Amino acid sequence: MTVVCIDDSNRPPDIPSTNWIKKEVEYTVLRVGMNKLTKEEYFVLQEVQPTPPYGGYKINRFRLPHPEAIEAQYEKQATSIF
């Protein structure tokens, strides 16, 4: 699955900029993880990884690349049922 970064702000100072996501760039999600302390979900990406102790990037920093295409498919399926 691919996602697009919508929020690259507030990079922790201990993560180099080379290991940080960039706004409007598309990334490939390898898996979804969960922070054991905060229970927040995060993406592990193919193209870039944060330095330890961070496991990935918060899901709310991303959007699907073409949400309108997904909505169109749902509408198409809904009209074909009737």
* Domain locations in the chain as residue ranges: 2-81
pLDDT tens-digit map of 9-53: 999 999 999 999 999 999 999 999 999 999 999 999 999 999 999
Contact 42, 36 (CB under 8 A): no
* Distance from C-alpha of 67 to C-alpha of 50, rounded to nearest angstrom: 26
Those residues with Cβ within 8 angstroms of residue 16's Cβ, 6 or more apart along the chain or in another chain = 51
Confirm whether pTM is higher than 0.95. no
What is the per-residue pLDDT for 65?
86
What is the per-residue pLDDT for 73?
57
Indicate the burial class of 57 (C-beta count within 10 angstroms; 0-12, 13-18, 19 or more). Answer: buried
